[in-house]
Every structure is written in structure tokens, then in C-alpha cells.
Structure 1
Amino acid sequence: MSTTLAQAVYSEFQQRFAYEPLLVRAPGRVNLIGEHTDYNGGFVLPAAVDKEIFFAVGLNGGTTIRLVAHDLGETFELADAAAISPSTTDWANYLLGVAAQLQQRGVAVPGFDCVFSGNIPIGAGMSSSAAVECGLAFALDQLLHAGLDKMALAHVAQKAEHTYAGVQSGIMDQFASLFGHEGQVIRLDCRSLDYTYFPFDTQAARIVLCNSGVKHSLASSEYNTRRQECERGVALLQQHYPDVTSLRDATLAQLEAHRAELGDLIFRRCAYVVQENARVEAATQHLEAGDLAAFGQEMYASHAGLRDDYEVSCVELDVLVEAAQAAPGVFGARMMGGGFGGCTINLVAPEQVEPFIASVSAVYQQRFGLTLETYQTTIVAGVGAVSQELVMSSDQ
């Protein structure tokens, strides 16, 4: 945990508002395997990681909401907490949306002050937005004694993203930020919201993210297209198998039986999702057996499916995965997130992390003339309060 960040947030709150805040830490997340399965009612395998956002939050006794983005050096003020609406300040909307969603659940949100700062890389697919939403939702729930459980807070944060940020995200990002456990990944059933923890030995493998630095404009339009293609596949299968309500229910045998009817494109899209759900299941069994090499093979297979059948990769991501495969001490690698850019996620033996970064960076520089940005992360606990003693002692 970055006590210096927590200290900076605490100090700015004290200087601006001159009373004691509640301190909260909210982590970003990675998804080890299970991509584009969430909106198909399938499985994902996320974990909270040690890139995080810190909040100092307090009730100010009035009606005014005062927000401070420490990193940006920007402030936002709303005179009446009872009259929240979306603003033209993008970053403030993630926080205002949370307060609005709490109000919709019948929680009376009075005036409050919030200072926040973080080290989650923006645009790297680690869900900085979900961390912002979940951190404030947790803080306000604590301060107002609202008694909402973590799943309710995840829904509050998700709805805030839908309504105030305009992003129709699934529940995985908010769920992972709130439900994370140190040294554990979480298999989440995106249909039932049942979840199970599995051990992940961060002494045996480090999680290293390689940021392609590429953000292709295709990402959002192609994402919507993939959803539609999957829905077309389900509609066709339902005519033969009424029980298939999502690709979660479909089998490869069913797809094969109607391959001609589906057509090559829809068949490949659906086959990828069915196989990816099976890979998540297999990956959790490998974790329980302590077999990181086998887990890594599922990651490579996931990337191949995303590249060839789902067609959401790009040349930069493919080069990064190929470079990882050629490097010593790498258990597995794949693209992470919606696709067409963003990061690859790599499992690397701790003693090989530095050589891995050096070799992959050299390949990337040679191929694209770009400097590769990398992040090492470990798996940590989810959203929680930070003791003031910890922050105060680090200031001595």
C-alpha cells in the first residue's frame, strides 16, 4: 500500500477542511482469464491489485458537496446535495453518480467533502473508474451507516458508471474492487453472481502488465458488434434448443451441428465464448493444483481465440504475446480487456521479471519504435478503510 499517497490525501483534506476524514483505499483490478464472457452470462477470473486510489471523505454538516482531484489539482463544488445531476466535469461525474445512486436507494446523502488520489494507470484496463466509484460508495456507506452490503455497493457503483459516465459496463470491475482478497483470484459467475475464491501464489508468479500504448478507435463500435453477433448466435440456437438463453448454456456440439446455418463468422464468435468459459473452469482447477504452467497454457489459448475467432486483438498485442512466449520464466500471457489495444497480462517467475521486461521492451522498441510501459502488480484485498495511525506514523 502506498502510504505516501494516503498521506498526501489526508494532508490536503486537513488543510482544506480542517476536520478528521475517513480514509479509504480502493484497488484497481486485473482479469486473469475470461474475456468477453461477462455479457454472455459466463465466467470471469479477476483479482484486485496493488494499484489503488485513496480517499479522504467526511460529512461537512451542510448541503454542499466539495470534491478535490488531488492529482489534477482541480476542485468541483455543488451547493445542494439534494439536487445532484451530471456535470460537465468528467471526473466529478463518477463521484456524483455514486451519491445519486445512493439517494435512489433511499439513502439521504447530505453535504460531504472528498479528496482523492491514485496510482492506477489510466487507459491500461485496470478499471480506475470502478475504483473511484467503489471507494466513495464504501466511504459514504460507512459515514452514513447505510448498512449496504458489498454486492449492493457494487451495483451502486456500476449504475453510477451507466448513468453519469455513460459507460454500459458489466459488474466485474466493481465486483473485483470490492470483493478482492489478498493472494486470491475470484471466479465470478456473471449470470448468478455466485463467486468462489481460488489461491494465487504471488511468490511463485508475478503479474506483469505490458501496455501497448495503443487505443484503437474500433474498440467501442466493435464491442457492440460482438455483442450483437453473440445474440444472433443465441437466437438461432434457441430455435433448436429452447433452453439456450445465453452462450453460457451452449455447447460446442450444438454449434457444430448448426455450423452451416450459423455461418462461419457467427460460429467462430460463439465457439470462442463457449471455449473461453471452459478455459476459466480449467484454469481454476490448475490453480487449485498449483500448476501455473498449465494455467499459463489456458491464457495462451485465450489469446489465440481472441485473435483468430473473436478478432478483437491487434498487431501490437500479438507481438507482445509472442515476445512473452519466447522469454524465459513466463508461464502465460494474453491480451486483457475489450481489445484493439490496452495491455497484455503476463505471469512471470519473480526472478525473471527484470529480464522479461528488458527482452519484451526491446522487441517492442525494435518493431514499433515505441517505449513499452510495464506495471508489476500483486494481488491484494478489496476496498477498505485505512487506519489513521498508519498514515500518521508514516509522516513521522
Structure 2
Amino acid sequence: MLLAHAIANTFRQHFQGEPLMVRAPGRVNLIGEHTDYNAGYVLPAAVDKEIFFAVALNQTDTIRLVAHDLNKKFSVAAESVQRSNTGWANYLLGVVAQFQQRGIAVPGFDCVFGGTIPMGAGLSSSAAVECGLAFALDQLLGTQLDRLTLAQMAQKAEHEFALVQCGLMDQFASLFGRQGQVVRLDCRSLQYEYFPFDTTAAQVVLCNSGVKHSLASSEYNTRRQECEQGVAVLQQYEPTIQSLRDATPELVRAHEQELGDVVFRRCLYVVEENLRVEAAGRHLLAGDLAAFGREMYASHAGLRDLYEVSCPELDVLVAAAQQAPGVFGARMMGGGFGGCTINLVAPNQVEAFIAHQTAAYQQQLGLELETYTASIVAGVGEWIAPTAE
């Protein structure tokens, strides 16, 4: 909360006047990886690693942005918003452009933002930046757009200004999070439902491998293409199939030869992962964390062996977690080739778990381990500004 205070004060120093304060959370995905762009299911939650915004209209035609953490500024005329050479500003400018594309006039405004989401850890800091500003502008301009529309605008901002062809999950989780609940999103119909997550029974602990292999972005695009190839083959035998969401493991196995080894394994992973997300929801309703954890381990094995997006560092962390007391489940989280593992740990074992993982990582790979505990929180919303000092 000190950070929110600091951002409000930075705003007052730079721009005078009182801002609207907004909090936008990052997210974890408990299970359902690489399913979103295959029109499948995901099971994310908003977490208490977040970005705070101080925003106000400024009665001019200039947009003035301040990145509190980077200590950098950027300004542009409201009517000439376009992609810039300033990476961090593009996430915000992309959101402004989305309002403008809808025919909504965006006047000059001032914005200071900063946060506690570790960069490059796979907690979707970019989605939090986009969703926070989208929510703030919706409030300030009185546009009354619903949260799904704001999520889709934030996603398009990332496609068009950050040039990342992400699915909708990250923006959806940031805007639709609920305290103590995870949300299952059907990435085809965009229907969603909430499941209780008992944070007194299991703590979310993230282990940051500290690596990001350069394969990540090129391989991500390759996986998308391989899945599309698989759909094209399966459609020849089952014309109703529009995406891997419609296929079954039996159908995929029946056409292993025609798919070829690599595409077969990619398809089998996605089809099985969708079933795991559905099973995970049932386990949460039954309060069966051990069964939920088994789905997580199976997800990791599929990502490692069939989808081939893991890496030695992530595999070491998951294998070590399986040996630690009080761990329900663990898996790599995010696009792969680095980033974090997500672990569900009994609260009274968290300290021992962190010590165990840190030692194992150092021993086996000679690497330092950064860990974070995360609580499940509500989605994007107004933050009541601390009073000026």
C-alpha cells in the first residue's frame, strides 16, 4: 500500500490535483496452458501482485505518462496516438487507440503508474497495465463499457501496439478476478464460472526459474501452426471439428499416422489438457486438493513431453517440488522455456518448501531461486486514494 501512496504523491508533485486511483492485478493460471488459442478452457485467478494507477483528465490535448518504477516520462498529442519506439508506453497508447477506434474522443490526461508484478515472471504485467488504464479511462470518460469489452480492448491493444498475439486469458483474469475464487473461462464461447479456492488450505507459491530462453516467442508461433495443421487433418475425418477443443484423445490417437509424430503429440497434449481443466473444476468443488495437484503434475508432464515447451530449469523445479512435504501439485506456468512454476503448498509448509526448492535449484543447477507467495484477489477496481501528506 506504500506503493499506491507513493504513486498518488508522485502524481500530485508532477501534475497537481487529485487523481482517480485504480488497482490492476496480475494473474496466475492454475491449469490450462496453451489451450486458450485452441478455443479451450483455462483456469486463472487474479493475484496480489498488482499495478497502481493515478489518472486524471488534464483539460489539454496532451497525454502525459509517467512510469514510476522506471522513472521515465512520455507525452503525445491525444489526436496523434500511434505505436511509438518507447516499449512501455505502447501498452498504454494501444488502449487509448482502442477507445478512439470505437469513436470515443479521448482528451488529454495525466497518468502515473507503477507496480509490484515481477517483470518476466509470467504474471502478465502487460495485461494489468492495459486493463488498469482501460478501466480508468472508462470511469473518467463515463463510457460505461462492460468488463468483457474492456478485456477485449486490452487484448487488441497488445496485438496492435505491443505486437503480441496473446489469447484473452490474461486480460480476462485481471478484470474478472474474485477474491478467494478461480475463474474457468471457455475461450470459445467466453462463458465463465467461478470455483472456490480455499486459500487457508493451499498457498500459491511461484518459483521463478530466472531464465527466459530465446526460443519462447518463435516456438509459441510454431505451436499455434502445428495445432492448426492438426485441425486441418482431423477435419478430413470429422468435418464438425473447428478447433482442437472439439477433438477427443481417441480421435487423435486414431489418426496418429496421418498427423505425423510431432503434430500428433501437440494435438494430444491440448485435448488432454482441456479434460484436465474440466476435472480440476470438479476437484475444487469437492475440496480435493490432492486430486487437483495430480492434474497439475500431469499438465507439466504433457507440456514437457508432448508439447515440448518446458526446459531443464522448470523440470528441476517441478521434480524437486514432488519431493517436498506439503505440496499438492506443481507445474510450469505460461508460454514456457523459462518463467515460473506454480506450486500449491500447505500454508504451514511454505517456509520449508521455499528452503527446499532454493537448495535443490542451487545444488542441481548452481542457480539462485526467486520465490513469491501470492494471494487470490479481486479484479481491476478503483483504489481509494491515500490522503496527501
Shorter chain as denominator, the TM-score bin is over 0.9
What's 1:211 paired with? 208
Task: Give the Cα–Cα distance (whole angstroms) in 1 for the partners of residues 90 and 252 of structure 2.
Answer: 43
Amino acid at match of 2:325: P
How much has 1:260 moved relative to structure 2? 1.5
Give SS of 1:227's match: helix
Does structure 1 residue 309 correspond to structure 2 residue 306?
yes
* Inter-partner Cα distance in structure 2 for 1:144 and 1:255: 50
Residue 51 (structure 2) pairs with residue 53 (structure 1) = yes
SS in 2 for 1:82: helix
1:355 corresponds to which residue?
A: 352
Superposition map of 1:233-252 within 5 A = 233-252=230-249
String of CA shifts for 1:172-217, please: whole Å, max 9, x gaps: 0000000000000000001111100000011110000000011101
Q: 1:268 aligns with which of 265, 270, 290?
A: 265
In 2, Cα distance between equivalents of 1:229 and 1:103: 36
Q: Does 1:339 align with 2:326?
A: no
Note the alpha carbon deviations across 1:92-135, whole angstroms, 9 max, x for none.
Answer: 11111101111101111000000001000000000000000000
CA distance in 2: counterparts of 1:293 and 1:18, whole angstroms: 53
Q: 2:287 maps to what in 1?
A: 290
Three-state SS of the structure 2 residue aligned to 1:23 is: strand
* 1:280 correspondence with 2:277: yes
What secondary structure is seen at the aligned counterpart in 2 of 1:379?
coil
Quick one: which of 315, 323, 327 aligns to 1:326? 323
| Letter aligned with residue 354 of structure 1 | E
Is 1:22 matched up with 2:48? no
Q: TM-score scaled to structure 1, two decimals?
A: 0.97
CA shift for structure 1 position 262: 1.4
Deviation larger for 305-314 or 252-261: 252-261
Q: 1:370-389 to 2 correspondence within 5 Å?
A: 370-388=367-385
Q: Which amino acid aligns with 1:288?
A: L
Once residues 322 and 366 of structure 2 are traced to their aligned partners in structure 1, the CA distance between those partners, rounded to angstroms, is: 21
TM normalised by structure 2 equals: 0.99
Unaligned runs of 5+ in 2: none
**Equivalent residue letter for 1:55:** F
Tell me the matched-pair count: 389
Q: In structure 2, how many angstroms separate the alpha carbons of the residues matched to 1:99 and 1:338?
A: 27
Correspondent of 1:72 among 60, 70, 73: 70
> How many Å separate the matches in 2 of 1:164 and 1:206?
35
Can you give the 5+ residue segments of structure 1 that lack an aligned partner in the other structure? Answer: none
Deviating beyond 4 angstroms after TM superposition, the runs of 4 or more aligned structure 1 residues are none
Q: Using the alignment, how far apart are the partners of 2:262 and 2:78 within structure 1?
A: 50
Alpha-carbon shift at residue 264 of structure 1 (Å): 2.0
1:108 is paired with a residue whose SS is coil
Shift of 1:370: 1.2
Q: Structure 2 CA distance, aligned partners of 1:337 and 1:40? A: 15
